[in-house]
Structure 1
């Protein structure tokens, strides 16, 4: 389903053609007067034409009919998808959600677009600067419907159930513990195989790329060779009842009709394509002496802002690894931060909160809101005998971290009814251990 190597965030160019039509890629130029097989040439630009070569993103698509051939877009209901960050009052508290409910297919059929729910976000899609975090819960495939995000990139994190993502560039099967990125403007549909749930990080005005490695050197974290893009695949199919294109534009949903499948790209070349990545391929960097390295060492992808070192959003994971630090409280430390931290759990038990934080749920620690391990974790790890041990075995937690101060939606705070209102109680049993008579060596 996915076979080409892809270097995320750099200018390398790749090419693919459906093997049913050898020679579909024009030779020597992008838009000849007549394309092979009578195809139309269409460019998809992910950056301004005049961006520096290293950041210039575009691909040429050679398709049976161009995407311009459709009826006018008209507004449709947005359901629980929103970019209204002022519909409820701000809430600076530590927030945690129980696993989000997936509607049973017997009750109602819900596809990927219908199952989008916005939890929080900030910024503005019109000015191309911001972020949104969504949950998707669905139980049926998209039939003769596709989705296009005109506002930004989608980073999709499946948690329950694999998804088959059909794009204009080809198909990708994405399973839990993998991610995929559908970049700005790319059309795609999602097939599911039962009850399905996952997380989405959306960024406006920037693309995800690999973080700079700095003193780490040339190797480590997510390696470019492990990112995969689809092999070209097309369908030449007429839909008598009409094929629906759903467009997310300025935070609202619109739809239009056309009588052919949008997945009619026979060949493509360029450096702007959807891609997937298996989180098991992440090369973990960690402390081997004492204390903690900052969690930025677990960054898979980043969407940079115009301020050096400050991200619109980072995608960070906490994979299985060895813990070997001496004279150190090994779990995450108590912390207040100038970033917003949204966490999700794909599988297993998160080391700092083994009970209340569940797969398919989430938490949000807002800017400068204190957070850290619960009381049980603190007591256990304060007295533990330190020896090399595996951390997070069988677990994959992740974090969407942003420099934006995020607002929670009405659905997230009220409608979903999954908010754990007792979350704050996990810190109440913390005891005072202060001893004014302490002397060096008395512990």
Structure 2
């Protein structure tokens, strides 16, 4: 796999990439040239996303008569199918269901936000996979998908090549890219952020400067690898919030060479280089942003993907966990491994929580008392990996999520024992 940057190229056969032109009169090896665009043609150069694919058959040959199929538990914004009282919410890990679940059958939507038709917002899903897709392919026309592996390892075969991910790694599949998802080690469980808006990109570092956070060189794109396979298979497309399926006579993963900047990629979250306060105060969580999906409003993200990884905490005379807060952004949070310092109990690997727009949250009673009275010596958070999908939109809980037995109905009680310490006669 190669690095994440402004442009890449890869070929599975020598000379398969045309030299000096994108669409020659005749392509090498009898291939077809096809452009895949993730932005309007006239987008500014810095925001223009496109790749040229040199494939055995053009995508118009990967087509047939589509028919609607059951969406299962996959939901798309806007989606209002249940009304829950406003409150911070948390779920224990959902066990992997029994039975045969391929990627498409194993999607369970937890929240939706915004409106997919307007290219704004997101959905947070869980995935459960107990068997590989065989002669099945999929692409999402509604948004790009970020896979956050939590348990088990996956192989994502894409038009651009193969991506393997394990827990603590993520893979991003752009809108319109065809995939087949296989198990490397299973069963597998994890999270997916379906991004309806602007594609994920690296955030600006601002005063931090040129280094730290997520470094561009650590993002990897696949090496070209094609399938020249004839035989019956199924292609499913998510378009307009609905799943559509057709039958094909050959694999659509037939790209022999490609070049451009619109491609799938992976990133190991353990490579994230955090920065933080080294004298006093707890810095804003924006310093933990790995990737961002920008909106039309500068500084206000459609989605921020934020990670809380291993790090040193050294601030003096400071309450070190996150402070209590109400936020205009809404936060879907998951835990891949370890313990999250603000919630030492009840929030466990595979679990997830939702703190919606302008609903209060923060450290539980135990975390507050410990952080308020602990000896403030240098402390290292070890073997932890929590993340947030944070969006400017309020997130709606699906009927499936609202009815899960793992919904912790007593979650708000984690703050019940916070005591009144105020005494006007004592500073």
Quick check: 1:357 aligned with 2:347?
yes
User: 2:169 corresponds to which residue?
Assistant: 178
User: 1:231 corresponds to which residue?
Assistant: 223
Q: Secondary structure at the match of 1:256?
A: strand
User: 1:214 corresponds to which residue?
Assistant: 206
Q: Secondary structure at the match of 2:326?
A: coil
User: 1:259 corresponds to which residue?
Assistant: 249
Alpha carbons of structure 1 residues 356 and 79: separation in structure 2 relative to 1, 3 Å = same
Instruction: Provide, for residues 268-306 of structure 1, a one-character-per-residue CA deviation record: whole Å limited to 9, x for no partner.
Output: 011110000011111111001111110000000000000
C-alpha displacement of 1:409: 0.7
User: 1:311 corresponds to which residue?
Assistant: 301
User: 2:66 corresponds to which residue?
Assistant: 73
Aligned residue among 381, 403, 417 for 1:429: 417
TM-score for both structures, normalised by structure 1: 0.94
User: 2:97 corresponds to which residue?
Assistant: 103
Q: Secondary structure at the match of 2:59?
A: coil
Mapped to 2, the partners of 1:389 and 1:260 lie a distance apart of 56
Instruction: Provide, for residues 316-356 of structure 1, a one-character-per-residue CA deviation record: whole Å limited to 9, x for no partner.
Output: 00011111111111111111111101110000111111110
Aligned residue among 397, 401, 406 for 1:418: 406
TM-score for both structures, normalised by structure 2: 0.98
Instruction: Out of 59-68 and 166-175, give the one that drifted further.
Output: 59-68
Tell me the matched-pair count: 424
Aligned residue among 100, 103, 108 for 1:117: 108
Uncovered stretches (5+) of structure 2, i.e. residues with no partner: none
1:91–1:408 CA contact under 8 A, matched in 2 = no
C-alpha displacement of 1:230: 0.2
Instruction: Out of 80-89 and 289-298, give the one that drifted further.
Output: 80-89
C-alpha displacement of 1:205: 2.9
Quick check: 1:245 aligned with 2:243?
no
C-alpha displacement of 1:45: 0.5
Following TM superposition, where does structure 1 have runs of at least 4 consecutive aligned residues deviating by more than 6 angstroms?
none
Aligned residue among 202, 212, 219 for 2:194: 202
Aligned residue among 16, 20, 34 for 2:10: 16
Mapped to 2, the partners of 1:47 and 1:205 lie a distance apart of 11
Q: Secondary structure at the match of 1:195?
A: strand
2:329–2:393 CA contact under 8 A, matched in 1 = yes
1:146–1:187 CA contact under 8 A, matched in 2 = yes
1:168–1:265 CA contact under 8 A, matched in 2 = yes
Quick check: 1:402 aligned with 2:391?
yes
Mapped to 1, the partners of 2:391 and 2:41 lie a distance apart of 28
2:133–2:180 CA contact under 8 A, matched in 1 = yes
Mapped to 2, the partners of 1:301 and 1:194 lie a distance apart of 27
1:90–1:407 CA contact under 8 A, matched in 2 = no
Quick check: 1:55 aligned with 2:9?
no
C-alpha displacement of 1:100: 1.4
Q: Secondary structure at the match of 1:37?
A: helix
Uncovered stretches (5+) of structure 1, i.e. residues with no partner: none
1:245–1:256 CA contact under 8 A, matched in 2 = yes
Mapped to 2, the partners of 1:234 and 1:159 lie a distance apart of 28
Q: Secondary structure at the match of 1:277?
A: strand
Mapped to 1, the partners of 2:45 and 2:293 lie a distance apart of 18
User: 2:37 corresponds to which residue?
Assistant: 45
User: 1:277 corresponds to which residue?
Assistant: 267
Mapped to 2, the partners of 1:306 and 1:90 lie a distance apart of 30
Q: Secondary structure at the match of 1:68?
A: helix
Q: Secondary structure at the match of 2:46?
A: helix
